[in-house]
Each structure stands twice: as structure tokens, then as C-alpha cells.
Amino acid sequence: MKIKIINPNTTLEMTRGIEAAGRLAARPGTEILAVSPESGPASIESYYDEYLCIPGVLDEVRKGEQEGADAYVIACYGDPGLQAAREVTEAPVVGIAEASLYMASMLAARFSIVTVLPRIRTMLEEMVDGYGMTRRVVSIRTTPLCVLDIEEDPEHSWQMVRDDARRAVEEDDAEAVLLGCAGMADFANSLEEELGVPVIDGVVAAVKFAEGIVDLGKKTSKLKTYKPPEKKGFTGAMKGFGTA
């Protein structure tokens, strides 16, 4: 089967890292294709970035329909555009945030998210609440890290993530740690070893869930909420998204 992982930002180094993580996690026979959209922000650290990456994400889903993708993974820890992507395709679409939350729920009674800049705390709280996970998430720990710092100085970034992950366990009563940025995928194993609790990276969690759903032949419900978009024209820079 072919799983298309869409890194909603345009930083290709990060896409390559996500792809490597995805391939490592995939089982034999699963083809992993990771892409960045043709348009959008270099990283996602605000509502502004979050919303403005979505046209690119949806474009990649649309292209994936031609490419024969069996499932999609949206690889940014805010699951940008997830519901719209489900309108565009019948294939299952899995967000890395939801995947990490559901997998963590099957492995630990309570957990924390360690993520990037403080400004995204509210965005993550809303997201966690939307997934019904507020009671399980005992803390969201932001760090001073920008998304691209992780690419540029992985060693320092690892230390910062580790320090907050440890505080989550020791001070917040977390029993697992969720990596709140797709760029942190590489930290999962060493962090798990160091902390002695499950550390969940959403990218690999999403790949495994996608594999499982495709195995079962399940498709997104097209009954109402996730029906294909209504037929209509789009104008300007969005013209290509028109469906009429």
C-alpha cells in the first residue's frame, strides 16, 4: 500500500526526516511517500502559519488521488486541514496529533505533550479538547524552541525537549510523553530510553494506524460532514480549488 505523508511546511530537510521516520516504522510492502506542499510556510508556529499551510496540504491530497495513495498522514502537530482533507478523498486521513493521543491512551493513563514555542499552547489545548483528551493530557509543556531550531541544532534541541519531558514526568505526573512537533520524531527512542516511559511520536503512530485502517479496507464516511466539497467556483489564487 502507499501512504502519502504530507509535511505541511515547506522545509524539505524536515520532510526527509519525517520520511525516514515513516519508512522505519512502515512494514514491508508499505510504500512511504513524504512531501512538502508547493506553497506555504517554512514552519508552522501560529494560527497564521497553520491556516496558510492548508491550501498546500489539500493540493497534495488532490495530487495523491492521482498517485494512488491509499492513505494520508498530515504531519504537523496541529493536524491542519484534517477535516477538509477528509472531504477531498475517500482514503483515510490521519493526523499525527490525533494518532499520538489515541496511541498514548492505549499505553498510559495520563501524559504530557512537549512542544515548541509558548504561543501555540492555546492552539494545542483546543486541539486536545476537540479530541476529547483533556482529562488525559496532564500538561502541555512549551519550550523556547522554534520548529526549525530542531533541524539546525538537534543536540541543543534534544536537551531542551528532554528537560521538559523530564519535568512533565517528575512534576506533572505524566506517565508518557508525546512529541508535539513532527520535527522531533528522531528524539523518540533516545528520550524513551532516558526517561523510562513511552515517548510517542505522532508520525510513526499515524503510519501504523493508517496501515491498519487500509488493511481493513475502511474508508472515510462520505455521508454528510465529509462529503466531497460542494460544487462551486473559486477565484484568484485559489482558483485551482474550484470544483464547478
Query: Binding to its own copies (CB under 8 A): which residues in 79-118?
Result: 81, 83-84, 86-88, 92-94, 98, 102-103, 105-110, 117-118
Query: Nearest distance from residue 208's CB to its own copies, in Å?
Result: 3
Based on CB atoms, which residue is closest to its own copies, 5 or 205? Answer: 205
Q: Identify the residue among 8, 17, 22, 37 touching its own copies (CB under 8 A).
A: 37
Q: Identify the residue among 20, 46, 154, 172 touching its own copies (CB under 8 A).
A: 46
Based on CB atoms, which residue is closest to its own copies, 66 or 216? Answer: 216
Any idea what the Cα angle at residue 205 is, between residues 157 and 48, rounded to 5°? 60
Ramachandran angles phi, psi of 38, nearest 5°:
-75, -20
Q: Is 56 in the site for its own copies (CB under 8 A)?
A: yes
Cα-Cα-Cα-Cα dihedral of 185, 188, 96, 174, to 10°? -140
- Enumerate residues 123-182 that contact its own copies by CB under 8 A: 123, 125-126, 129-136, 146, 169, 173, 175-176
| Residues 155-167 as b or e (16 or more Cβ within 10 Å = b) | eebbebbbebbbe
Any idea what the Cα angle at residue 203 is, between residues 198 and 204, rounded to 5°? 60
How far CA 15 is from CA of 47, 102, 163, 167, in Å, comes to 21, 23, 25, 29
Based on CB atoms, which residue is closest to its own copies, 156 or 218? Answer: 218
Q: Is 198 in the site for its own copies (CB under 8 A)?
A: yes
Q: Is 17 in the site for its own copies (CB under 8 A)?
A: no
Pairing of strands 199-201, 137-141: unpaired
Per-residue x/- track, 200-219, its own copies (CB under 8 A): x---xx--xx-xxx-xx-xx
**H or E element at residue 52:** helix 47-52
Query: Nearest distance from residue 60's CB to its own copies, in Å?
Result: 12
